[in-house]
């Protein structure tokens, strides 16, 4: 079959990848509500640092798997990486179901990190390959929406099952079904390396930009570096919400069903919002979406210090999801835009390495702060880091013109180029109102 670029031209494979990514996301949602409570109730863990150790190992292994998924995508093949990822994911619910000690839970999260890094990265890169350069924001919005709606659904479902039937075994039966269905769906996927070759052949002739090094993507390239640090901080605060929010809500007397609902509202709004923000990132300046999204997250986390009622936490969880929805598809669309096609998979891998290292850094930092100074101090510190990340975006990033070699070195000035400039949010809303 001759490859073609575009969402419409590849809708069947694209839809299959969206469904597969929903199963990938569901594997994480399984832990969002019940694992912190499982640590306290069944394994009698008290120290926050010990409880959050499962997020530390998850973040580290996922970060490393992300990097190698990007580095190996062209050598091993996208589909093969996806299948390998599900091979690591199959034992996870069984280990959690039978775990006689917390060390089993830690090991299960090593495998879960490998599953998420390889499987999610593969679906991301394959969707980028299929749609071509003009619809990547839409593609990432659909991809991340499916993944995080599944996180929300399984977070709520596992919380309800735990309330009705206990923390084990019934919530983990759901995970067994997700893993089996995800693997079966992945067997039907076709590799997309031919689409990468087609896009590279169709790229306009001209001088190629310099090869992007690991440190260019990490920090030196002003746009890529700004995106990378924001991704790390985003997952740093998400790791805190994952590990500490259920414990914070439990101290306020909320039931497991209520905790599960709050834990589900956040990724549900995050997932649904990306259906809007993904396409917007194709039209608007990515700097603006990233700045406002990170700023909103920081303000909401600070507001959680003063919240006390269940409705307030539901509202704040929704706002936190909206802030994350602004940035999440924009991260990946930005990396794909600023990196040339032959370097895309590796650049995405480097970005995702740092982004998901945020889980480990966030869990470790917040655990230490919570043990030493209390949950409120940990929450305030992460809120401040998130606002600082927004300010770095505002200072370092620039909006390139629509038609430029964006992988080339950025101009020294922070001012935006005048011709064919990408619309900002303010200009977009002004045109719509007019």
pLDDT above 80 for 350? yes
pLDDT above 80 for 206? no
Cβ pair 226, 213 in contact under 8 A: no
Task: Decide if 431 is inside a domain.
Answer: no
pLDDT of residue 416: 37
Q: Which residues partner with 421 through β-bridges?
A: 401
Task: Decide if 155 is inside a domain.
Answer: yes
pLDDT of residue 214: 93
What confidence tens digit (pLDDT) does each residue in 398-412 have? 987 654 444 444 433
Gap between the Cα atoms of 4 and 378, Å rounded: 49
Task: Decide if 409 is inside a domain.
Answer: no
Residues in the chain: 434
pLDDT above 90 for 385? yes
Average pLDDT for residues 196-200, to the nearest whole number?
81
**Domain region containing 297:** 11-196+214-403
Return all residues near 11 (Cβ < 8 A) that are at least 6 apart: none
Task: Decide if 372 is inside a domain.
Answer: yes
Return all residues near 205 (Cβ < 8 A) that are at least 6 apart: none
What DSSP assignment string belongs to 421-433?
BPPPHHHHHHHHH
Q: How confident is the model at residue 431 (pLDDT cuts 50, 70, 90)?
A: very low
Task: Decide if 1 is inside a domain.
Answer: no
Average pLDDT for residues 300-318, to the nearest whole number?
95
pLDDT above 90 for 188? yes
Q: How confident is the model at residue 327 (pLDDT cuts 50, 70, 90)?
A: very high
Return all residues near 53 (Cβ < 8 A) that are at least 6 apart: 102, 106, 363, 367
Q: How confident is the model at residue 418 (pLDDT cuts 50, 70, 90)?
A: very low
Cβ pair 143, 251 in contact under 8 A: no
Average pLDDT over the chain reads: 87
Q: Which of 151, 272, 202 lies closest to 3, judged by CA?
A: 202
3-state DSSP helix/strand/coil percent for the chain, to nearest 5?
80, 0, 20
- pTM, two decimals, is 0.79
**Who wins on pLDDT, 281 or 396?**
396
Would you give the DSSP letter of residue 245? H
Cβ pair 112, 89 in contact under 8 A: yes
Task: Decide if 171 is inside a domain.
Answer: yes
Gap between the Cα atoms of 28 and 9, Å rounded: 31
Gap between the Cα atoms of 118 and 228, Å rounded: 19
Q: How far apart are the first and last CA of the chain?
A: 46
Average pLDDT for residues 311-334, to the nearest whole number?
94
Gap between the Cα atoms of 409 and 216, Å rounded: 10
What confidence tens digit (pLDDT) does each residue in 55-92 have? 999 999 999 998 888 778 878 889 999 999 999 999 99
Number of domains into which the chain is organized = 1
> H or E segment at 408?
none
The tokens for 297 are 């997250």
Gap between the Cα atoms of 426 and 172, Å rounded: 46
Average pLDDT for residues 153-174, to the nearest whole number?
91
Task: Decide if 418 is inside a domain.
Answer: no
Task: Decide if 308 is inside a domain.
Answer: yes
What confidence tens digit (pLDDT) does each residue in 121-145 have? 899 889 988 988 778 888 888 888 8
Q: Which of 270, 277, 362 lies closest to 319, judged by CA?
A: 270
Any idea what the CATH number is for the domain that residue 160 is in? 1.20.1250.20
């Amino acid at each position: 079959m001759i490859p073609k670029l575009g969402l419409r031209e590849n809708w069947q494979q694209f839809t299959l990848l969206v469904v597969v990514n929903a199963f990938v996301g569901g594997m994480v949602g399984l832990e969002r509500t019940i694992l912190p409570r499982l640590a306290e109730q069944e394994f009698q863990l008290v120290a926050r640092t010990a409880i959050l150790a499962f997020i530390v190992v998850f973040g580290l292994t996922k970060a490393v798997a992300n990097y190698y998924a990007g580095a190996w995508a062209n050598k091993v093949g996208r589909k093969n990486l996806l299948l390998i990822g599900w091979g690591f994911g199959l034992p996870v619910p069984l280990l959690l179901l039978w775990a006689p000690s917390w060390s089993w839970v830690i090991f299960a999260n090593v495998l879960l990190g490998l599953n998420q890094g390889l499987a999610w990265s593969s679906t991301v890169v394959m969707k980028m390959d299929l749609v071509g350069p003009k619809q990547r924001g839409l593609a990432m919005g659909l991809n991340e929406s499916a993944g995080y709606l599944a996180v929300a659904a399984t977070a709520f479902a596992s919380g309800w099952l735990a309330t009705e039937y206990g923390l084990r075994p019934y919530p983990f039966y759901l995970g067994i079904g997700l893993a089996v269905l995800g693997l079966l769906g992945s067997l039907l996927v076709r590799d997309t390396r031919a689409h990468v070759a087609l896009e590279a052949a169709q790229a306009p002739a001209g001088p190629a930009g310099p090869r992007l090094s690991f440190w260019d993507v990490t920090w030196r390239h002003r746009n890529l570096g700004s995106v990378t640090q924001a991704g790390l901080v985003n997952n740093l605060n998400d790791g805190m919400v994952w590990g500490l929010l259920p414990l914070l809500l439990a101290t306020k007397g909320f039931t497991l069903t209520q905790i599960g609902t709050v834990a589900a509202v956040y990724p549900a709004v995050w997932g649904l919002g990306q259906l809007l923000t993904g396409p917007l990132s194709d039209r608007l300046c990515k700097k603006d979406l990233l700045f406002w999204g990170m700023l909103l997250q920081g303000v909401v986390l600070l507001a959680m210090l003063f919240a006390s009622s269940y409705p307030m936490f539901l509202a704040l969880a929704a706002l936190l999801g909206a802030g994350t929805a602004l940035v999440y598809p924009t991260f990946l669309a930005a990396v794909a835009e600023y990196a040339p096609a032959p370097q895309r998979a590796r650049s995405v891998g480097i970005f995702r390495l740092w982004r998901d290292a945020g889980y480990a850094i966030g869990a470790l930092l917040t655990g230490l702060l919570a043990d030493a100074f209390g949950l409120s101090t940990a929450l305030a510190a992460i809120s401040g880091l998130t606002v600082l990340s927004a300010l770095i975006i505002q200072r370092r990033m620039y909006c390139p013109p629509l038609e430029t070699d964006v992988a080339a070195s950025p101009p020294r000035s922070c001012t935006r180029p005048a011709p064919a400039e990408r619309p900002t949010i303010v200009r977009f809303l002004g045109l719509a109102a007019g």
